Protein backbone atom coordinates (compact mmCIF):
# COMPACT_ATOMS: atom_id res chain seq x y z
CA UNK A 1 0.00 0.00 0.00
CA UNK A 2 1.28 3.46 -0.85
CA UNK A 3 2.41 5.60 2.06
CA UNK A 4 0.54 8.87 2.44
CA UNK A 5 2.52 12.08 2.36
CA UNK A 6 0.31 13.42 5.14
CA UNK A 7 0.41 12.05 8.66
CA UNK A 8 -2.84 11.38 10.45
CA UNK A 9 -2.33 14.46 12.61
CA UNK A 10 -1.88 16.63 9.52
CA UNK A 11 -5.05 15.20 8.03
CA UNK A 12 -7.01 16.08 11.17
CA UNK A 13 -5.65 19.64 10.98
CA UNK A 14 -6.78 19.92 7.36
CA UNK A 15 -10.21 18.62 8.32
CA UNK A 16 -10.24 21.11 11.19
CA UNK A 17 -10.01 23.89 8.62
CA UNK A 18 -13.20 22.55 7.07
CA UNK A 19 -14.90 22.59 10.46
CA UNK A 20 -14.01 26.26 10.80
CA UNK A 21 -15.95 27.06 7.66
CA UNK A 22 -13.45 26.86 4.79
CA UNK A 23 -14.71 25.33 1.57
CA UNK A 24 -13.50 21.96 0.36
CA UNK A 25 -12.21 23.46 -2.88
CA UNK A 26 -10.12 26.09 -1.06
CA UNK A 27 -8.65 23.60 1.39
CA UNK A 28 -7.85 21.06 -1.33
CA UNK A 29 -6.17 23.76 -3.44
CA UNK A 30 -4.19 25.09 -0.46
CA UNK A 31 -2.88 21.65 0.52
CA UNK A 32 -2.48 20.38 -3.05
CA UNK A 33 -4.82 17.39 -2.74
CA UNK A 34 -7.92 16.49 -4.67
CA UNK A 35 -11.40 17.12 -3.34
CA UNK A 36 -11.98 13.36 -3.49
CA UNK A 37 -9.08 12.90 -1.06
CA UNK A 38 -10.64 15.42 1.32
CA UNK A 39 -13.92 13.52 1.24
CA UNK A 40 -12.12 10.20 1.82
CA UNK A 41 -10.29 11.69 4.81
CA UNK A 42 -13.57 13.02 6.18
CA UNK A 43 -15.11 9.58 5.78
CA UNK A 44 -12.17 7.91 7.58
CA UNK A 45 -11.50 10.42 10.36
CA UNK A 46 -14.77 12.32 10.68
CA UNK A 47 -14.44 14.94 13.39
CA UNK A 48 -11.54 13.29 15.24
CA UNK A 49 -8.88 15.35 16.96
CA UNK A 50 -5.15 14.58 16.75
CA UNK A 51 -5.22 12.92 20.18
CA UNK A 52 -8.04 10.62 19.06
CA UNK A 53 -6.04 9.61 16.01
CA UNK A 54 -2.98 8.80 18.14
CA UNK A 55 -5.12 6.66 20.45
CA UNK A 56 -6.65 4.89 17.46
CA UNK A 57 -3.18 4.14 16.04
CA UNK A 58 -1.95 2.81 19.41
CA UNK A 59 -5.01 0.60 19.76
CA UNK A 60 -4.55 -0.72 16.22
CA UNK A 61 -0.92 -1.62 16.97
CA UNK A 62 -1.92 -3.30 20.22
CA UNK A 63 -4.65 -5.31 18.47
CA UNK A 64 -2.19 -6.51 15.81
CA UNK A 65 0.27 -7.61 18.52
CA UNK A 66 -2.50 -9.50 20.33
CA UNK A 67 -3.57 -11.18 17.10
CA UNK A 68 0.00 -12.38 16.54
CA UNK A 69 0.13 -13.75 20.10
CA UNK A 70 -3.15 -15.63 19.61
CA UNK A 71 -1.94 -17.02 16.27
CA UNK A 72 1.30 -18.25 17.88
CA UNK A 73 -0.62 -19.91 20.72
CA UNK A 74 -3.01 -21.55 18.29
CA UNK A 75 -0.05 -22.92 16.34
CA UNK A 76 1.53 -24.25 19.55
CA UNK A 77 -1.74 -25.96 20.50
CA UNK A 78 -2.02 -27.51 17.06
CA UNK A 79 1.53 -28.89 17.26
CA UNK A 80 0.94 -30.21 20.78
CA UNK A 81 -2.29 -31.95 19.75
CA UNK A 82 -0.52 -33.45 16.74
CA UNK A 83 2.30 -34.80 18.91
CA UNK A 84 -0.08 -36.22 21.50
CA UNK A 85 -2.22 -37.96 18.90
CA UNK A 86 0.68 -39.99 17.48
CA UNK A 87 1.31 -43.47 18.83
CA UNK A 88 4.83 -44.08 20.07
Among candidate residues 73, 4, 68, the one with its CA nearest the CA of residue 37: 4
Domain assignments of the chain as residue spans, ordered by start: 8-85
pLDDT tens-place string over residues 33-85 = 999 999 999 998 887 888 888 898 899 999 999 999 999 999 999 999 988 88
| pLDDT of the residue at 67 | 98
Residue 47, pLDDT score: 78
Report the mean per-residue pLDDT for the chain.
89
pLDDT number for residue 2: 67
Closest Cα to residue 24, out of 47, 4, 41, 8?
Answer: 41
Amino acid sequence: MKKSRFSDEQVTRVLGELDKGASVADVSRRHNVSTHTIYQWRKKFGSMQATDVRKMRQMTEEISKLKRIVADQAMDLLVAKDLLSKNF
